[in-house]
Amino acid sequence: MVLRYRRRFMGLCNLKLFLMGKMLKTLRVEESGGLNLALQEDSAKTGKVTSAGMYFLCFPVYRLDHTVNPIAATKDADAAFFKKLDGFQPYEITELKAGTHVLAVYGDNFFKSASYSIEALCAAPFVEEKANLRDVEAEILAKRTEMSGFETEYREVLAQFAEMTSRYAQEMQAIDELLRQRVEIHASYTTAPPMKRSSSKSRNKGSIRETIQVRDKKPSTTGDGPKKKKWFNIHLKVDRRKPC
């Protein structure tokens, strides 16, 4: 697609493809008649189609390159999270100057026919959208700076958490060991060797028999033994002939 502008172009170029793995490129025509690559944008799956867009709004517009730090994303989920905005980089150009520009579609497999459409829209009617885009991208840049400090704080807290988790396991093990020792000590008060307990019982039975025999040998105080004489021995004479 060839675009010719008598003045600079402010707007966006949108590419819609029906095959994966395509790339939109902007080629600038040089005065010598040759072509020079000015900008390129990888396509991404959006809904049922694959699309790529270029924005020329005369202020810095950013792209999110997902290919930045691919190793960190596969090895460390935390690192992938904190490096997620590292691929948020500005476009190399912010406007298309007056002249002739060539839009080219590059595909990694064109053995089969590919259907696509290219739209070039002027940015003048999208005043509110331009302001919203500029504001949200400024917030993303601020968030990227904020995440750098948050990562340091997060790593410190994570190290403390790992230390506390290890100590938790150690303290739990120590408590279980102390309780086990306590149970063993309690058991030692009630458990004795069998031989010692039987000999103790026989000694106790023997002492009980001896006590019973001693009691049987004590003199009885209520049997046929000599009785004590009463201290009184008075004889009273009663005349039975006289009535009382």
What are the structure tokens assigned to 30, written together? 């040089």
Residue of 66, 195, 48, 50 whose CA lies nearest to 116: 50
Mean pLDDT of 142-160: 93
Measured CA angle at 64 (ends 61, 69), to 5 deg? 140
User: How many Å apart are CA 142 and CA 209, to the nearest integer?
Assistant: 99
At residue 172, the pLDDT reads 96
Total-model pTM: 0.59
Residue 82 CB coordination number (10 Å)? 19
- Domains of the chain, CATH where assigned: 2-59+94-124 (2.60.40)
Residue 56 CB coordination number (10 Å)? 22
Neighbouring C-alpha atoms within 13 Å toward the C-beta of 227: 6
User: How many Å apart are CA 233 and CA 235, to the nearest integer?
Assistant: 7
At residue 161, the pLDDT reads 95
Report which listed range, 109-113, 180-184, 188-192, is most confident: 180-184
What are the structure tokens assigned to 170, written together? 């150690």
pLDDT > 80? residue 211: no
